[in-house]
């Protein structure tokens, strides 16, 4: 995130701790002063003491149980006792002496009283170590206050400004506020992401002219979810929405809500919404919402993270609580919408999902254009080449490349940044990225292209396969490439449709086997889907010849026994295997038949990274089932408006886990 903008801590009036210190110091001082009756005190010997009593200096005597005696001196004798210190003596100066035993002191004083030398009073008291008493009484309090301050500071976050003030700020949101007008980010600063921009454009309109929508009785959406890998510009896009609509922008990370103390997260959520309502219309941006929004535990007995759940519940309550038309719109970012709690995605909450993907070749060019604007370049720099050299880079990676290139040029005392500096910068960033497995080698890129072209080719030639919209080999989330189809809205599916779909899904692996002569984990997700589908067809839909019209669907989750015999189980297994094997060889046949076209398609993919239905048509000619596909072609022009599903391929489950971690740490 860009931190150098005009950020400003909210919660301006911070209660200060210093008054607490002052009160404590005051109490101590008060007790200290009242403990002494005023005046100096000096230590003397017992002999001197007896002498003074005999001379009649004693005013009153206090004997303590620790054998120490304090004798107050008569005012007229102060000079005799304290000599030159007398002026400093104060109201009631005293001398202190340590006596051997109280009995002998008693005897001595009785005698002197009888003699008339001592006319004052004698008082026996407990130990007079006031300061010690106070100290020992206060010590635990001081200790706990200290501990409390320490904990609260820790909770407030070490680097947080405000110091001791944080004690009273635990429950306050830590959101950064970007006031409107200042340092505006607009859509111009966000390169590429045309689809996402188009979708958030509507939110801008809502914020600018809410009455236009509310007058007609429409409800303004409360939230949208930006889904995409780190560094693709989700924060930037949210800021641009605020900038375009010219409204304030609150930014906070989901992890900021979560603290070790119960109730803190919920109160931060409350505080954030309270502040936002004051500033409405405005935008709240919650980065990494998965930190709070992860699906809640299903089983209450399993425990789970209560604090996180409280925070999530509070968030849901707040979202429901504020009026639809209050003018506060919440944008949240996540890398994984699939792990979010379903309640968050329900209507009236984050019911819109906007995909913010890694940029393709042309988009990368645009991102480069944005980020080389401030640099001084020489003629050797070719943006087209740079974009080609950076497959799999995110917007943030590209921003990084540009900055690194400038630094490298500066290090060599150049007056402008040249192509070589960019190449060195790319090498450096690739080195850093390698761990994230995002960057493809040329061979990988070719393999993915052949695989995706396999899906595309087969779906083109099968009547019932979903019509293709676009194919990309840009890594998307955890998927390596994707083919997008326009799913047909249908309530029932025929056997032919299912078989064609299976065949198209197997096309990726078939292409790998035929043209690379090497199969890879890239098809794992395809295989999983196909296997499940085949099992469903046979065990649930009764579509197999050997097990016709039987549905073994069991909706009792907790029953572990199968509703069929061992023999049937074997039959189901063999039927599933046979079904998949048939479709696989069908896929290979189709690919062999259209080998040239397939290879052309793959080459085109390698070059352009994204191809659309038109490109496929240019290679294979019109789709044999024209009428329907024509409709679709018309629609695919406005690709963003169609509801599309993607066909993801994952490396493997293990690897995707790893990827996910890496991406997190990258953020």
| 438 contributes a contact to ligand ADP by CB under 6 A | no
202 in catalytic set = no
Stated as kind and residue range, the H or E segment containing 428 is helix 419-433
Q: Which is nearer to Zn ion, 329 or 480 (CB)?
A: 480
CA 80 – CA 630 distance, rounded (Å): 122
Q: Which is nearer to Zn ion, 493 or 521 (CB)?
A: 521
We find the least distance from the C-beta atom of residue 484 to Zn ion, in angstroms, to be: 12
Name which position in 231, 248, 327, 475 contacts ligand ADP (CB under 6 A): 231
Name which position in 69, 333, 449, 502 contacts ligand ADP (CB under 6 A): 333
* Strand ordering across the sheet containing 7-9: 7-9, 176-178, 249-253, 282-287, 328-334, 223-227, 352-355
Stated as kind and residue range, the H or E segment containing 155 is helix 130-155
Residues in contact with 259: Cβ distance below 8 Å, sequence separation at least 6, in sequence order: 155, 170, 265, 307
395, 372, 392, 389: which is closest to 427 by C-alpha? 389
116, 103, 118: which is closest to 49 by C-alpha? 118
**Residue 508 site contact among Zn ion, ligand ADP, none (CB < 5 to 8 Å, cut-off depends on kind):** Zn ion
Strand segments, DSSP code E, in 521-620 are 610-612
Positions 188 through 207 that interact with ligand ADP (CB under 6 A): 190-193
Name which position in 370, 387, 543, 613 contacts ligand ADP (CB under 6 A): 370
Residues in contact with 452: Cβ distance below 8 Å, sequence separation at least 6, in sequence order: 471, 472, 473, 481, 482, 483, 508, 602, 605
CA 652 – CA 667 distance, rounded (Å): 22
Q: Which is nearer to Zn ion, 365 or 445 (CB)?
A: 445
**CB atoms closer than 10 angstroms to residue 273:** 23
Q: Which is nearer to Zn ion, 401 or 456 (CB)?
A: 456
Name which position in 200, 399, 590, 605 contacts ligand ADP (CB under 6 A): 399
Q: Which is nearer to ligand ADP, 156 or 230 (CB)?
A: 230
**Residue 395 site contact among Zn ion, ligand ADP, none (CB < 5 to 8 Å, cut-off depends on kind):** ligand ADP
| 289 contributes a contact to ligand ADP by CB under 6 A | no
Vertex 276 angle, CA 272 and 281, to 5°? 160
| 386 contributes a contact to ligand ADP by CB under 6 A | no
Residues in contact with 621: Cβ distance below 8 Å, sequence separation at least 6, in sequence order: none
| 454 contributes a contact to ligand ADP by CB under 6 A | no
Number of residues that bind ligand ADP (CB under 6 A): 20
We find the least distance from the C-beta atom of residue 453 to ligand ADP, in angstroms, to be: 27
Binding part of the chain for ligand ADP, among 308-316, 345-353, 384-392, 395-403 by CB under 6 A, reads: 395-403
| 375 contributes a contact to ligand ADP by CB under 6 A | no
CA 295 – CA 315 distance, rounded (Å): 13
We find the least distance from the C-beta atom of residue 362 to ligand ADP, in angstroms, to be: 12
Residue window 37-76: x/- pattern of binding to ligand ADP, with contact defined by CB under 6 A:
----------------------------------------
CA 256 – CA 288 distance, rounded (Å): 10
> Which residue minimizes CB distance to Zn ion?
508
Task: Provide the binding-site residues for Zn ion, judged by CB under 5 A.
Answer: 508, 526, 649
Residues in contact with 481: Cβ distance below 8 Å, sequence separation at least 6, in sequence order: 448, 449, 451, 452, 471, 472, 473, 474, 475, 649
Residue window 481-520: x/- pattern of binding to ligand ADP, with contact defined by CB under 6 A:
----------------------------------------
| Exposure string for 494-517, b = 16+ CB within 10 A, e = fewer | eeebbbbbbbbbbbbbbbbbbbee
We find the least distance from the C-beta atom of residue 587 to Zn ion, in angstroms, to be: 11
Name which position in 172, 222, 234, 446 contacts ligand ADP (CB under 6 A): 234
Catalytic residue among 452, 501, 609, 649: 452
We find the least distance from the C-beta atom of residue 334 to ligand ADP, in angstroms, to be: 10
**Residue 243 site contact among ligand ADP, Zn ion, none (CB < 5 to 8 Å, cut-off depends on kind):** none
CA 621 – CA 597 distance, rounded (Å): 10
3-state secondary structure at position 283? strand
**Beta-bridge partner residues of 417:** 377
| 367 contributes a contact to ligand ADP by CB under 6 A | yes
Q: Which is nearer to ligand ADP, 406 or 450 (CB)?
A: 406
Q: Which is nearer to Zn ion, 636 or 647 (CB)?
A: 647
Name which position in 165, 233, 254, 391 contacts ligand ADP (CB under 6 A): 233
**Residue 191 site contact among ligand ADP, Zn ion, none (CB < 5 to 8 Å, cut-off depends on kind):** ligand ADP
| 235 contributes a contact to ligand ADP by CB under 6 A | yes
**Residue 396 site contact among Zn ion, ligand ADP, none (CB < 5 to 8 Å, cut-off depends on kind):** ligand ADP
455 near 505, Cβ under 8 Å?
A: yes
512 near 451, Cβ under 8 Å?
A: yes
Numbers of helices and strands, H then E, in the chain: 24, 16
| 236 contributes a contact to ligand ADP by CB under 6 A | yes
Q: Which is nearer to ligand ADP, 2 or 255 (CB)?
A: 2
331 near 283, Cβ under 8 Å?
A: yes
**Residue 190 site contact among Zn ion, ligand ADP, none (CB < 5 to 8 Å, cut-off depends on kind):** ligand ADP
Residue 249: φ, ψ to 5° = -135, 120
CA 369 – CA 363 distance, rounded (Å): 10
Catalytically annotated residues: 452
Q: Contact residues for ligand ADP (CB under 6 A)?
A: 1-2, 190-193, 230-236, 333, 367, 370, 395-396, 399, 667
């Amino acid at each position: 995130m860009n931190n150098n903008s005009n950020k400003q801590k909210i919660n301006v009036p911070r209660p200060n701790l210093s008054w607490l210190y002052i009160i404590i110091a005051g109490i101590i001082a008060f007790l200290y002063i009242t403990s002494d009756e005023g005046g100096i005190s000096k230590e003397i010997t017992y002999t001197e003491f007896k002498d003074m009593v005999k001379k009649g200096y004693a005013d009153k005597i206090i004997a303590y149980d620790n054998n120490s005696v304090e004798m107050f001196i008569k005012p007229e004798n102060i000079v005799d006792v304290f000599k030159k210190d007398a002026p400093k003596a104060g109201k009631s100066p005293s001398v202190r002496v340590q006596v051997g035993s109280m009995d002998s002191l008693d005897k001595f004083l009785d005698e002197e009283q009888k003699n008339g030398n001592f006319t004052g009073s004698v008082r026996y008291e407990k130990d007079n170590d006031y300061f010690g008493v106070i100290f020992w009484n206060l010590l635990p309090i001081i200790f706990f206050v200290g501990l409390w301050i320490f904990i609260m500071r820790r909770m407030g976050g070490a680097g947080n400004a405000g110091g001791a003030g944080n004690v009273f700020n635990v429950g306050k949101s830590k959101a950064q506020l970007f006031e409107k007008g200042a340092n505006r980010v607009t859509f111009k600063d966000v390169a590429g992401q045309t689809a996402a921009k188009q979708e958030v454009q509507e939110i801008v309109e809502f914020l600018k002219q809410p009455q236009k929508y509310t007058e007609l009785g429409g409800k303004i959406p409360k939230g949208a979810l930006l889904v995409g890998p780190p560094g693709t510009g989700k924060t930037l896009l949210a800021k641009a929405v605020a900038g375009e609509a010219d409204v304030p922008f609150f930014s906070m990370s989901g992890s900021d809500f979560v603290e070790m103390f119960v109730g803190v997260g919920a109160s931060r959520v409350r505080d954030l919404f309270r502040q936002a309502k004051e500033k409405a219309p405005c935008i709240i941006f919650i980065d990494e919402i998965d930190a709070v929004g992860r699906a809640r535990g299903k089983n209450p007995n399993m425990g789970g993270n209560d604090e996180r759940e409280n925070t999530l519940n509070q968030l849901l309550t707040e979202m429901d609580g504020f009026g639809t038309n209050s003018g506060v719109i919440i944008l949240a970012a996540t890398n994984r919408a699939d792990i979010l709690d379903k309640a968050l995605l329900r209507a009236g909450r984050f019911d819109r999902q906007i995909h913010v993907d890694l940029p393709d070749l042309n988009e990368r060019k645009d991102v480069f254009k944005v980020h080389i604007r401030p640099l001084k370049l020489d003629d050797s720099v070719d943006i087209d080449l740079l974009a080609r050299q950076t497959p799999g880079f995110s917007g943030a990676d590209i921003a990084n490349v540009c900055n690194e290139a400038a630094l490298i040029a500066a290090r060599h005392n150049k007056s402008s940044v040249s192509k070589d500096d960019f190449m060195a910068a790319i090498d450096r960033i690739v080195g850093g990225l390698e761990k994230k497995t995002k960057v493809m080698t040329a061979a990988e890129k070719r393999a993915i292209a052949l695989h995706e072209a396999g899906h595309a080719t087969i779906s083109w030639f099968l009547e019932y396969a979903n019509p293709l919209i676009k194919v990309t080999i840009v890594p998307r989330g955890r998927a390596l490439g994707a083919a997008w189809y326009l799913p047909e809205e249908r309530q029932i599916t025929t056997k032919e449709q299912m078989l064609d779909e299976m065949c198209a899904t197997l096309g990726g692996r078939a292409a790998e086997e035929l043209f690379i002569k090497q199969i890879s984990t890239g098809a794992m997700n395809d295989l999983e889907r196909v296997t499940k589908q085949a099992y469903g067809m046979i065990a649930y839909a009764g579509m197999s010849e050997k097990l016709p019209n039987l549905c073994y669907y069991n909706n009792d989750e907790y029953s572990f026994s199968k509703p069929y015999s061992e023999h049937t189980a074997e039959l189901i297994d063999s039927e599933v295997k046979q079904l998949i094997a048939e479709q696989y060889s069908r896929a290979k046949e189709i690919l062999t038949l259209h080998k040239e076209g397939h290879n052309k398609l793959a080459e085109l993919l390698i070059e352009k990274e994204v191809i659309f239905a038109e490109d496929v048509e240019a290679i294979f000619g019109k789709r044999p089932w024209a009428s329907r596909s024509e409709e679709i072609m018309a629609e695919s022009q406005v690709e963003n408006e169609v509801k599309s599903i993607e066909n993801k391929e994952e490396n493997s489950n293990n690897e995707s886990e790893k990827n996910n971690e890496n991406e997190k740490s990258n953020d």
